[in-house]
């Protein structure tokens, strides 16, 4: 990685081109500057005018957010995707020319993306636009980090580039993205709703129970799909705004691919790395929220002492602990879970902190953790074999790692639950549940209905303006 400290974009470009000539390469260069406060939903909406794919991410505390516009480079992985992603990202960083004297989380060169739940599963037409794994380095990116805001430009450079033309392009894009947009009231609504083979799904749940009772597995996670038809093409910015306002303690995300958008609000962090500090989350065991404070507290107490949910939660705790021990030291995991409240649901929650050993990266951790027992089952391979054979759904990126990483050794990936794939005016929503020995198909079906609510709410009550 070559770091340049030039004060202006023009001087930086001249220096970068000199480096490109001397290296006889066409390196990727990245330039970051500080900007005034902006609303990142406004930026996302304004980016629609560029006719380029958009990326959106906020963390669960809503003090960090990214908007990516366009694409300078895509890193694609297949079955050995973790090794491919890690190798190519390392090569990119080694050759990149980066101007970033801020060194904040999310500044410098950043890639955003995700991957499919199961690379061995045959892909359906529904997920045709989403590769087995993909990290996108956007052409432009706006970052919010607490009260600081940054604009980053990424592009490949050659000795034939016209510097004045590049500066003009940057200024034009900056004006488009950072000029306040005019808001329009949305009239989006759901005009048709269809559950995909619910009775067949319940029979599959019973098959999973039978499998567990025959000691072939301890837990199997099954997912299902609901399809919606809207009265017009989906208002993505409005839905993101609604998710931010209604789903606290959740990661809000959107990944556009042509005329598709994978969007959602997930409470489940897979892993966060800042330097050598690692955080993970055990989130398993679910109950609805109460209608009153008293009812809510009663449900929470029941969840904390419910044997099925505690057993389900403990599978995740033990799996994460066992799988990071090789890569981390100073692992700290509380002995008892607490309640993690969301708008429609509450979960059992146990945080995990550790120190990542120097020779390992976030890709090593993701490879070991995915899928956790909360999304796959226990034992992992037996549960996955059952899912491949019996679940009539291509999960695509649902239930899989999504997130970002930067050139300063920071990254964060969540598990893409509470989500949907939007294709203009058609939407596929996904929800799942953990099947255990004592599971009842009707109760598991009811649980998935509750898990559909966060996304259904923004589809059916999308009164945000954009």
The total number of residues shown for the chain amounts to 466
If residue 195 lies in a helix (H) or strand (E), which one and from where to where? strand 190-195
Instruction: Check: CB of residue 68 under 8 Å from CB of residue 255.
Output: no
- 3-state class of 426 per DSSP? strand
Place of tokens 């995700």: 114
Q: Is 180 in the active site?
A: no
Dihedral sign (CA 38, 44, 48, 54): positive
Burial degree of 78 (CB within 10 A; 0-12, 13-18, 19+): exposed
198-213 helix and 441-460 helix, angle to the nearest 10 degrees = 140
Helix residue spans in 247-379 (DSSP H): 293-305, 307-324, 362-369
Active-site residue, from 33, 129, 219, 242: 219
Active-site residue, from 104, 268, 311, 412: 268
447 is in an annotated binding site: yes
Q: Is 219 in the active site?
A: yes
- 3-state class of 392 per DSSP? coil
If residue 211 lies in a helix (H) or strand (E), which one and from where to where? helix 198-213
Measuring CA to CA, how many Å separate 254 from each of 48, 51, 117, 419? 13, 16, 17, 9
83 is in an annotated binding site: no
Going by the annotation, the residues of the binding site for Mg(2+) are 312, 447
* Residues known to be catalytic: 219, 268
Tell me the binding residues.
Answer: 312, 447
């Amino acid at each position: 990685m070559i770091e340049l400290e030039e004060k202006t974009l023009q001087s930086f470009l001249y220096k970068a081109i000199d480096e490109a000539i001397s290296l006889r390469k066409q390196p990727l260069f990245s330039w970051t500057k500080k900007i005034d406060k902006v609303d990142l939903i406004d930026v996302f909406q304004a980016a629609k005018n560029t006719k380029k794919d958009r990326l959106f991410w906020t963390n669960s505390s809503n003090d960090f957010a990214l908007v990516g516009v366009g694409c300078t480079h895509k890193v694609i992985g297949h079955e050995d995707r973790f090794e491919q992603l890690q190798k190519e990202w390392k090569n990119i960083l080694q050759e990149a020319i980066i101007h970033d004297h801020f060194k904040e989380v999310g500044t410098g060169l950043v890639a955003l993306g995700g991957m499919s739940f199961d690379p061995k599963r045959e892909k359906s037409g529904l997920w045709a636009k989403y590769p087995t794994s993909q990290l996108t380095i956007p052409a432009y990116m706006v970052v919010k980090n607490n009260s600081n805001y940054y604009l980053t430009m990424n592009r490949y450079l050659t000795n034939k580039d016209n510097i004045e033309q590049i500066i003009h392009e940057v200024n034009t894009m900056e004006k488009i993205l950072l000029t306040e947009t005019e808001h329009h009231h949305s009239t989006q609504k759901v005009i048709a709703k269809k559950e995909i083979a619910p009775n067949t799904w319940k029979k599959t749940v019973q098959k999973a129970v039978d499998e567990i009772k025959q000691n072939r597995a301890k837990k199997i996670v099954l997912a299902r799909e609901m399809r919606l038809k809207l009265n017009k093409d989906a208002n993505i910015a409005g839905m993101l705004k609604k998710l931010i306002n209604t789903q606290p303690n959740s990661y809000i995300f959107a990944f556009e691919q042509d005329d598709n958008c994978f969007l959602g609000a997930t409470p489940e962090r897979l892993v966060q790395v800042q330097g050598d500090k690692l955080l993970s989350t055990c989130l398993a065991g679910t109950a609805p929220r109460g209608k009153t404070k008293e009812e809510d507290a009663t449900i929470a107490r029941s969840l904390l002492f419910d044997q099925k949910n505690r057993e389900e939660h403990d599978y995740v705790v033990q799996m994460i602990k066992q799988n990071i021990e090789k890569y981390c030291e100073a692992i700290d995991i509380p002995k008892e879970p607490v309640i993690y409240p969301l708008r429609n649901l509450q979960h059992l929650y146990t945080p995990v902190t550790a120190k990542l050993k120097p020779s390992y990266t976030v890709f090593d951790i993701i490879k070991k953790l995915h899928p956790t027992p909360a999304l796959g089952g226990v034992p992992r391979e037996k549960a996955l074999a059952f899912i491949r054979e019996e679940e009539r759904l291509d999960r695509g990126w649902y239930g899989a790692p999504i997130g970002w990483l930067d050139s300063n050794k920071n990254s964060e990936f969540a598990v893409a639950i509470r989500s949907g794939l939007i294709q203009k005016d058609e939407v596929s929503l996904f929800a799942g549940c953990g099947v255990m020995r004592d599971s009842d198909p009707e109760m598991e079906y009811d649980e998935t209905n509750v898990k559909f609510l966060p996304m259904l709410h923004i589809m059916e009550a999308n009164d945000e303006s954009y």
